[in-house]
Amino acid sequence: MKTTNNYFLNDLSVMVGRSMRHTFRSLDTIITVTIMPLALMLIFVYVLGGAIQSGSDNYVNYLLPGVLIIAIANGIGYVSYRLFMDKQRGIFERFHSMPIARSAALWGHVLTSLVSNMISLVVIILVALIMGFRSDASIVSWLAVFGILIFFTLALTWIAVIPGLSAKSVDGAAVIAYPIHLLPLISSAFVPTETMPGPVRAFAENQPVTSIVETVRSLLSNQPVGNEIWIALAWCIGIMLVAYFFAMGVYRKRM
Amino acid sequence: MLQNDIAISVEGLKKSYKSVAVLKGVDFEVKTGSIFALLGSNGAGKTTIVKILSTLLKQDSGNALVNGFDIVLNSDSVRQSISLTGQFAAVDEILTGKENLIMIAKLRHLSKPVEIAENLLIRFGISDAADRRVSAYSGGMRRRLDIAMSLVGDPQIVFLDEPTTGLDPEVRIEFWKVIKELSSNGTTVFLTTQYLDEAEHLADRIAILHEGRIVVSGTFLGLKKLFPKSKVEYIEKQPTLEEIFLAIINKKGED
């Protein structure tokens, strides 16, 4: 008899297939993770853009990294929501009483979050190109951009797993999304931090989103990234590891 | 080959939640191919036993073999042998009925998942709704799909935890037929229920769980003998509400 570990990839692909269907069949998800960030980008560029002094002549170029971050932050509430529903409806029990690789049920949600976020990022970048976004970044820089965004997505996703598995109600499961939504607004995503009052500026300059946004912006505009890229990576990987171990602890205990 | 005659054997099973002892030493055996009904009031610990035997929960002490495999040491092999139908229909609402069945067939690593799904849809009378999302199914249809999902891959032992709670009488009787069919094909059925008539109709053996122990077990006839000899009285037989309901429904169906 084969052990269930041999089936991990098969089981994982079934799980990802399942939750990708959930994502594509939910108009709500598509609006939140793609349409809303796009609307935000349109409003910032065509409504507020004229009045914002970003210090760059192409505001779409300045704005795009922040919009990408917002798109990722918007999407992670769904990870919590879907995990909670699976737990509550007994779907996890069904899977766990079957001869499958147990962790596939959880990894399916995590990978779906990653894949669906990457799809929405590509869509947003394509729209930004139409709106005048231009970049002469090299392939290596683009790969670095996606690398950082992948780590950022995984970090937020593993954070979202924790309330998804431990919440008592569906509202409780989704509440994690709100503070995360605010982080890009208190960063250099939309305006330079120099104009912010002291304490806000101190927070904005030292929170993870700013270093990620600055790194992505530098990479896309072919500027030297300096130390910022290491700070950004350290944030993403650090948060990801802590959240991962915490989430797996909850998973083992509750499931 | 004595081992193969016994599908489930449980010895001294104990389980406490915090300081509350739910199971205080449970012993019983279930013969291969039989229907075994575990009776008990709400909160008696029936679900706890099902969860332990289906490897979802670990006992504090005691042993259990399912299909000859130790539930703790050999949980993978146990999961190969069983399926679990929980108290609430664990179906994926966003997928269609057919997709649900295909998903389970793939997770059981069977060849021809589509064919298996189609056969089960026909067998359970839901092929008309095969391509509709489950969120549009009625309660009875959901339950039928739920059971169909449990029978994917023909598991040798089927656990049904209060399978008919919340079903209308018609579906309930239809469901009884399915159970009897399963058992006559050699599948072992372990069923928990609060309905005494259900146990009486279906079960080869009945065990009553009370205050953490099996207080009596045996065949229905055997249990009847525990009571003082019956007096013979003549009464007019009144139709039960169930009989009236079914008579009306069936007449409607024939029109």
Model confidence at A164: pLDDT above 60: yes
Contacts of B159 in chain A (CB under 8 A): 97
Q: A1 CB near a chain B CB, below 8 Å?
A: yes
- Nearest by Cα to B89 from B37, B17, B166: B166
A91 vs B56, B87, B90: nearest CB: B90
Tens digit of each residue's pLDDT (9 = 90 or more) over A122-137 = 999 999 888 888 888 8
Judged by CB atoms closer than 8 Å, whether chains meet at A89 and B88 is answered as: yes
Q: A97 CB near a chain B CB, below 8 Å?
A: yes
**Phi, then psi, of B92 in degrees rounded to 5:** -85, 115
Q: Sorting pLDDT into bands at 50, 70 and 90, what band is B1?
A: very low
Contacts of A100 in chain B (CB under 8 A): 79, 107
Helix A8-24, helix B97-107: angle, nearest 10: 160
Nearest CA distance, B236 vs chain A (angstrom): 46
Judged by CB atoms closer than 8 Å, whether chains meet at A21 and B95 is answered as: yes
**Phi, then psi, of B180 in degrees rounded to 5:** -65, -40
B92 vs A4, A11, A91: nearest CB: A91
Q: CA-to-CA distance for B223 and B204, rounded, in angstroms?
A: 12
- Lowest mean pLDDT, pick from A141-155, B148-162, B172-186: B172-186
Judged by CB atoms closer than 8 Å, whether chains meet at B86 and A3 is answered as: no
CA atoms in the 13 A half-sphere facing the CB of B115:
3
pLDDT of residue B252: 61
- Nearest by Cα to B104 from B94, B90, B86: B90
pLDDT of residue B189: 94
DSSP state of B191: E
A200 Cβ neighbours under 8 A, 6+ residues apart: A186
Mean pLDDT over B5-26 rounds to: 90
pLDDT of residue A255: 65
Instruction: Indicate yes or no: pTM above 0.90.
Output: no
Probe site for chain B from A18, A95, A98 (most B CB atoms < 10 A) = A98
Q: In the A/B pair of chains, how many CB contacts fall below 8 A?
A: 67
Judged by CB atoms closer than 8 Å, whether chains meet at A14 and B107 is answered as: yes
Q: CA-to-CA distance for B163 and B159, rounded, in angstroms?
A: 9
Q: Which residues of B179-201 are buried (b: 16+ CB within 10 A; e: fewer)?
A: beebbeeebbbbbbbeeeebbeb
Q: What's the mean per-residue pLDDT of chain A?
A: 86
Q: A81 CB near a chain B CB, below 8 Å?
A: no
**Phi, then psi, of A50 in degrees rounded to 5:** -65, -30
In chain B, the N- to C-terminal Cα span, in Å, equals 54
CA closest to A92 among chain B residues:
B90
Q: CA-to-CA distance for B221 and B57, rounded, in angstroms?
A: 33
DSSP state of B228: P
CA closest to A3 among chain B residues:
B76
B187 Cβ neighbours under 8 A, 6+ residues apart: B33, B154, B155, B156, B157, B158
Q: A22 CB near a chain B CB, below 8 Å?
A: yes
Tens digit of each residue's pLDDT (9 = 90 or more) over B71-100 = 999 888 999 999 998 888 889 999 999 999
Q: A5 CB near a chain B CB, below 8 Å?
A: no
Amino acid at A136: D
Q: Which residues of A208-226 are buried (b: 16+ CB within 10 A; e: fewer)?
A: bbbbbbbbbbbbbbeeebe
CA closest to B87 among chain A residues:
A90
Q: Sorting pLDDT into bands at 50, 70 and 90, what band is A44?
A: confident
A188 Cβ neighbours under 8 A, 6+ residues apart: A66, A204, A205, A210, A213, A214
Judged by CB atoms closer than 8 Å, whether chains meet at A98 and B79 is answered as: yes
The first and second tokens of residue B48, run together, are 């706890």
Q: Sorting pLDDT into bands at 50, 70 and 90, what band is A170?
A: confident
Q: CA-to-CA distance for B92 and B158, rounded, in angstroms?
A: 20
Q: How many residues does chain B have?
A: 255
Judged by CB atoms closer than 8 Å, whether chains meet at B80 and A1 is answered as: yes
Q: CA-to-CA distance for B245 and B145, rounded, in angstroms?
A: 24
Model confidence at B152: pLDDT above 80: yes
Answer for the pair A115, A16: CB distance below 8 angstroms, yes or no: yes
Instruction: State which of A24-28, A66-70, B42-46 shows the largest mean pLDDT.
Output: A66-70
Q: CA-to-CA distance for A97 and B79, rounded, in angstroms?
A: 6
Probe site for chain A from B94, B99, B103, B154 (most A CB atoms < 10 A) = B94
The first and second tokens of residue A146, run together, are 């996606």
Task: Render chain A in DSSP notation, one character per residue.
Answer: ---GGGGHHHHHHHHHHHHHHHHHT-HHHHIIIIIHHHHHHHHIIIIITTT---SSS-HHHHHHHHHHHHHHHHHHHHHHHHHHHHHHTTHHHHHHTSSS-TTHHHHHHHHHHHHHHHHHHHHHHHHHHHTT------HHHHHHHHHHHHHHHHHHHHHHHHHHHH-SSHHHHHTTHHHHHHGGGGTTTTS-GGGS-HHHHHHHHHSHHHHHHHHHHHHHTT---TTHHHHHHHHHHHHHHHHHHHHHHHHHHH-
Q: CA-to-CA distance for A52 and A191, rounded, in angstroms?
A: 7
Contacts of A22 in chain B (CB under 8 A): 94
The first and second tokens of residue A173, run together, are 């499961």
Q: A98 CB near a chain B CB, below 8 Å?
A: yes
Bridge partners (DSSP) of residue B15 are B23
Q: Which of residues 21-60 of B touch A (CB under 8 A)?
A: 51, 54-56
